[in-house]
Structures are given as C-alpha cells and as structure tokens.
Amino acid sequence: MCTRNRGFHKYHLYWFHLKINIMQSVEKLLLENKAWVYETMMDDPDYFSRLSQNQEPEFLWIGCSDSRVPANKITGTHPGELFVHRNIANVVMEDDINILSVIDYAVTHLKVKHIIVCGHYGCGGIKAAMTNKSFGILDKWLLNIKNVYEASRPAIDALEDPEARANLLAECNVKQQVINISKTAAIQNAWQNNNLPQIHGWIYDLKDGLLKQICRVIKPARDC
C-alpha cells in the first residue's frame, strides 16, 4: 500500500473507532466487521472473491466453546484453513448427529489431513462434571465427561490441588474424545483406503496461551 493510501486508511479507521466508542456493544460488532472488510480489501482487493470460490482446509478443529479459546487466533490460521466445530468441553458423543456430520463432511468431502481435539485448562465444563450439582439440561452432556472422570479417578484424586485435578481431567477428556473419533464410521472408512486423517489431542493453557500435544492416533497405531 502506498504512503498516501495508508494516511487515508488510518483517517478512516480513526473515525470507525471513534464511532465504535459511542455505540452499543452489538452494534460495535457490525461496525468492526466493516472495518475488517475495509482493512482486508485495502491489503488484498481479491481476498473475498477468491475465498468465496472454495474451501480446502487441511484441519478439522474440535474445541471447547469457551470464548477464550479462539481456534484461528491461537493457531495463527486464517479463514479457509480450519474447519471448526466447538461445543462445551470438546465432547465427541457417539449419538451426536451434529458432530458426526461435521466429522463425516470434513473427512469424506473436504479430505482433511488432520483432526485436532483441543481441550483447555480451566475448562468450566470439566469443573462442572466434577461436581454432584445439577446443571439442568447440561447434565446429560456432562455425563460423558463424568464417565471419563470415573475411569481416571485414582490418578485424578491423587492430586491435592483442585485446579490440578480439573486440568488432568481436561487432558483425560481430550484423550477419550480422540479415541471416540477414531471409532467413528467416517474415520474407519477413511482408514480402509489411506493413512489419513491423523487425530491429535491438544490442550491449551489459558494462563500462558500455549498449546501442548498430549496424544496422537494414526492408522493403525495409537499412543492415547
């Protein structure tokens, strides 16, 4: 971008942000969208027409809905690079038609090479599953995590610190969901014909922003 354009660009962004400061929060989102479109088009005029043609993501990301774990942001990826599914505590249930459809579409049609299940430390869904409280309709969802907790209870309860216990369950939960994915029809069918996709279990630390790999399943071996 030439120097004159940058000055013009900054002038407009100044007014965008001035307006944003005096508007309601939801309206801010719409205005921020316009600012993003403007900035993007200034750098790459063909960006949207090119992106609208097709998607060929290499990765399926299955993460927690937590607002502090934005998939693209923490992996430095851009629109078109991640096919994303998020739910509370990144659970893959065998009777959840939503996530099974996402996995099938990603594997069968988009031909993703990697599936990443990303849990995170400090997960509210994990903490809720460790209590005996009722959370209404959420109880059925949390049952899957409660089962993981029961299976790993000796190792988890051996830890004194409640935060460390929840963090270990978050890791165990990721490992279980990676195994659950490996058993789906979409993956079994894909592995009949080739060695992809690989399935990775990651954990994200809210306190330092770092991702850590904790397990991986590749055809036909697994270290989960």
Kindly tell me which of 123 and 148 has the beta carbon lying closer to Zn ion: 123
Residue among 166, 155, 85, 178 at smallest CA distance from 126: 166
CB of 127 to Zn ion, least distance (A): 9
Residue among 88, 138, 86, 117 at smallest CA distance from 184: 117
**String of contacts with Zn ion for each residue 64-103, x by CB under 5 A:** x-x-------------------------------------
Task: Please classify residue 210 by burial: count the beta carbons closer than 10 Å to its beta carbon, then call 0-12 exposed, 13-18 middle and 19+ buried.
Answer: exposed
Q: Rule CB under 5 A: is residue 123 a binding residue for Zn ion?
A: yes
Q: Rule CB under 5 A: is residue 128 a binding residue for Zn ion?
A: no
Kindly tell me which of 57 and 125 has the beta carbon lying closer to Zn ion: 125
Tell me the C-alpha to C-alpha distance, in Å, between residue 167 and each of 84, 90, 123, 210. Answer: 23, 14, 8, 14
64 counts as catalytic: yes
216 counts as catalytic: no
Q: Are 199 and 117 in contact (CB under 8 A)?
A: yes
Residues contributing to the site for Zn ion (CB under 5 A)? 64, 66, 123, 125
| Active site positions, annotated | 64, 66, 68, 120, 123
